[in-house]
């Protein structure tokens, strides 16, 4: 049951794809083909492409938000090759944090991700915090316990009121489904969403935990997104490879629009 209408969000994670030469045109094409009422659209290109995407969307469709794929946990300093939250001013308004590929490839811990989350909120960035289990965890029945531990590690010590004001979004990404062509069932994602909101409540969020949007991420396509939107506890998707394909994005956002319209009608 939807307590209040949470936003319906489709966030595109382009990962390490596109260049400044082609990112703007791709962003324009996606924006043109995804103008659907009631859906919050976010494009997260590589750092080098942020300016190109910003300029393209300012002309093509300013309603599409721009997000970064990561941010450093310090505001400045001797951190060669890193990007701080203040550096994103004027380039992005959202940021992805704790993506499984960052955990895997850069060794990011929950504590480090929590520090990044604090810096992002201080800088006025809207965070998408990623949590999710490995295949071994799922098969051993530990999926929910893993996500609960990740949330506790990332959020403990942070002010729920401040995170709520920053409009925290959580993306559930079963690691075994990312880039593999496999995906969780809608019922699995719904159970995880309920567990995530229950964990937030236990961390001091109380009833406001019901207002936190939860996205599904893991080999999302136009063909399978309907299964996840059929679950009232799922509010959108963090889209990987399919987000580089305008046809796929058009289908995904179009389906999201149906959900947004149905939710609006339910509370009217």
pLDDT digits (tens, 9 = 90+) for 201-248: 999 999 999 999 999 998 899 999 999 999 999 999 999 999 999 999
C-alpha 49/C-alpha 46 separation (Å) is 5
Tokens of 2: 């939807």
Does 104 reside within a domain?
yes
Q: What is the pLDDT of residue 4?
A: 61
Q: Is the pLDDT of residue 32 over 70?
A: yes
Q: How many other β-carbons are positioned within 10 Å of the β-carbon of residue 99?
A: 28
The number of domains in the chain is 1
Please say if the pLDDT value at position 54 is more than 50.
yes
CA dihedral 139, 194, 169, 187 (to 10 degrees): 60
CATH of the domain at 60: 3.20.20.70
The pLDDT of residue 1: 43
Residues with Cβ within 8 Å of 181's Cβ and at least 6 positions away in sequence, in order, are: 219
Residue 61 located in a structural domain: yes
- Which CA distances in Å does 179 have to 70, 174, 203, 239? 19, 11, 32, 10
184: number of Cβ within 10 Å: 26
In the chain, % of residues over pLDDT 70: 98
Query: Is residue 119 a part of any domain in this protein?
Result: yes
Query: Average pLDDT of the chain?
Result: 95
| Rounded mean pLDDT, 59-70 | 98
pLDDT at 2 over 70: no
Report the percentage of the chain scoring pLDDT > 90: 93
Asked whether residue 2 is assigned to any structural domain, the reply reads no
109 in a structural domain: yes
Averaged pLDDT for residues 55-73 = 98
**Per mean pLDDT, which range of 29-43, 153-167, 169-183 is the poorest?**
169-183
Note the pTM of the prediction, 2 decimals.
Answer: 0.96
Domain membership flag for residue 63: yes
**How distant is the alpha carbon of residue 238 from its chain centre?**
5
- Is 73 among the domain residues? yes
Residues 194 and 174: their CA atoms lie apart, in Å, by 15
Contacts of 223 (CB under 8 A, 6+ apart): 251
Rounded CA gap, 210 and 219, in Å? 26
Q: What are the DSSP calls for the chain, one per residue?
A: --SS-PPEEEEEE--S---HHHHHHHHHHHHHH---TTEEEEEE--GGGHHHHHHHHHHH-TTSEEEES---SSSSSS-TT---GGGGTTT-SEEEES-HHHHHHH---HHHHHHHHHHHHHTTPEEEEEE---HHHHHTT-HHHHHHHHHHHHHTTS-HHHHHHTT-EEEE--GGGTTSS----HHHHHHHHHHHHHHHIIIIIGGGGGGS-EEE-SS--TTTHHHHHTSTT--EEEE-GGGG-HHHHHHHHHHHHHHHHHHHHHH-
Residue 1 within a domain: no
Q: Which residues are catalytic?
A: 99, 173
Asked if pLDDT for residue 3 goes beyond 60, the answer is: no
Q: Can you tell me the distance from the alpha carbon of 173 to that of 101, in angstroms, rounded to the nearest whole number?
A: 11
Neighbour tally for 140: CB within 10 Å: 12
The encoded tokens of residue 263 equal 């939710």
Q: Are 44 and 16 in contact (CB under 8 A)?
A: no
Cα diameter, the chain: 53
The domain containing residue 168 runs over which residues?
8-267
Distance of CA 159 to the CA centre of its chain: 20
């Amino acid at each position: 049951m939807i307590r209040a209408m949470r936003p319906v969000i489709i966030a595109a994670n382009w990962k390490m794809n596109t260049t400044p030469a082609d990112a703007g045109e791709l962003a324009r094409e996606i924006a043109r083909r995804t103008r659907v009422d009631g859906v919050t659209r976010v494009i997260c290109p590589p750092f080098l492409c942020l300016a190109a995407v910003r300029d393209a969307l300012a002309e093509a469709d300013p309603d599409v938000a721009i997000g970064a794929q990561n941010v450093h946990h310090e505001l400045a300093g001797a951190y060669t090759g890193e990007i701080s939250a203040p550096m994103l001013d004027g380039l992005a308004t959202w940021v992805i944090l704790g993506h499984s590929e960052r955990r895997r490839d850069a060794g990011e811990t929950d504590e480090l991700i929590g520090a990044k989350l604090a810096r992002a909120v201080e800088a006025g960035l809207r965070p998408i915090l990623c949590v999710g289990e490995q295949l071994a965890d799922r098969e051993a029945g530990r999926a929910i316990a893993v996500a609960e531990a990740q949330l506790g590690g990332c959020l403990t010590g942070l002010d729920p009121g401040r995170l709520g004001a920053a409009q925290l979004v959580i993306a559930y990404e079963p690691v075994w489904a990312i880039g593999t062509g496999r995906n969780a069932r809608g019922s699995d994602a719904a159970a995880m969403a309920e567990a995530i909101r229950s964990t937030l409540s236990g961390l001091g969020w109380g009833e406001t935990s019901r207002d936190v949007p939860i996205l599904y991420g893991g080999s999302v396509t136009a063909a399978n997104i309907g299964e996840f939107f059929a679950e009232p506890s799922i509010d959108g998707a963090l889209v990987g490879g399919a987000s580089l394909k305008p046809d796929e994005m058009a289908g995904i956002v179009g389906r999201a629009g149906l959900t947004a319209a149905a939710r609006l009608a339910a509370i009217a």
